[in-house]
Amino acid sequence: MYFIDPHVHMISRTTDDYERMTRMGCVAISEPAFWAGYDRGSAASFHDYFRQLTEFEPMRAGWSGIQHYTWLCINAKEAENVSLAREVIKLIPEFLDRPNVLGIGEIGLNKNTMNESTIFQEHVDLAVRMDQQILIHTPHLQDKFKGTHMIVDMLRADYRVQPQRVLIDHVEEHTVRLARDHGFWCAMTLYPTTKCTPARAADIIEQYGDEQIMVNSAGDWGPSNPLAVPDFIQEMRKRGHSETKIKKIVYDNPLKFFSQSKNFRFQAPDITYGTGKP
C-alpha cells in the first residue's frame, strides 16, 4: 500500500532509510523543523538549516523517488530563548515561496512555559499573515494534556486561525478529543518505546473514527522507526480493517490536509514511477 509519512525528520536519517521507505510504499513525506539535539548558537544556523530543508533534502529524497515537503519554524525547546526566536522568525518569510514549503511548524510547547507560549503566538501570527498552514508539536509525557489544552486555548483566542488548516500532532488517548472537537486535524506518532504504539493508534481510530486524523513515525536522531507507518498498516490489517479505511488514514487524509497549501504539488505514484499510465 502506498503511504505518506506526514512527520519525519529525514535530515537525521540515512539515504538507506529513504530506500527502505520507498520499498515499503512511501511516496511522500513532510519534514517539520525541529530541535537538533543541542541548542544552536545563532540565527545563522537556522538559516543554514532552512536551506538544507528546502534545497538538499528534497533532492536527496528524490533520489529514492520520494516527494519531500517541509515546514519551517524555531522549535518549542529553543523558543525559550525569546530574542533568538524572534530573529529566526524574521528569517522565515524569505523561504515561504520555496517549492516544498507547506507552512509553519512544528511549533508548539515543550515545558509549557510563558516564553514558549509567547513565541508560539508569534509564529501563529506569522502563519495567518502569510496565509500558511500550521503543524503543531504537543509536549510528551506528563506535560502533554496541559500543553495541548494551552495550545488549543491560544489557537481559539486568535479569531483569524482556520482550524481545518492546522494539524495538532502527537495526540494520544487523552488529547485526541481536544484537537478534533474544535475542528483541528490531528496526528498520532508511533514510537518504538515509551509513547504511542501501532496497537494503541489503531484503538484510537476504532474509538474516534478516521476523519481528520493521520499517523506518522516522527523518525529523528533518537530511538525511532521510519517504517512505523507500515507497522500501523499491518496492525490494522491484522484486525480486519478494510484496505479503503487504512488507505484513508495513511494516504488520503494527509493528501487532503496538505492540498490546502499552495506549494503542495503532489504527483500520484503511478506517474512518479513512469509506467506511462495516468
Partner 1 sequence: MSSPQTARQILDRHYLEIRSKILDLAASLDRVDRAGKDGTQDDPRLAKLRSGIELLLTPGTDRAERVQMLFSDTYVENWMKK
Query: Applying CB under 8 A, which of residues 20, 60, 140, 200 lies at the interface with partner 1?
Result: 200
248 binds partner 1 (CB under 8 A): no
Select the binding partner of residue 47 from partner 1, Zn ion, none (C-beta < 5 to 8 A, by kind): none
By the rule CB under 8 A, 173 interacts with partner 1: yes
Place of cell 506511462: 276
Q: Quick one: how many helices (H) and strands (E) in the chain?
A: 12, 8
Going 172 to 261 to 50 to 7, the CA torsion angle's sign is: positive
Closest approach of partner 1 to the CB of residue 117, in Å: 8
Q: Select from 23, 51, 129, 174 the one that contacts partner 1 (CB under 8 A).
A: 174
Q: For 212, how many CA atoms within 13 A lie in the half-sphere containing its CB?
A: 19
Name which of residues 153 to 172 contact partner 1 (CB under 8 A). 153-154, 157, 172
Whether the CB-CB separation of 17 and 62 falls below 8 Å is answered with no
Binding mask 58-97 for partner 1 (x = CB under 8 A): ----------------------------------------
* 99 versus 209: smaller Cβ distance to partner 1: 209
Stretch that binds partner 1, among 35-43, 221-229, 237-245, 254-262 (CB under 8 A): 237-245
Strands 3-5 and 101-108: unpaired
C-alpha cell at 168: 495538532
Residues 220 and 169: their CA atoms lie apart, in Å, by: 15
218 contact choice in partner 1, Zn ion, none (CB below 5 to 8 Å, kind-dependent): Zn ion
| 3-state DSSP assignment of residue 218 | coil
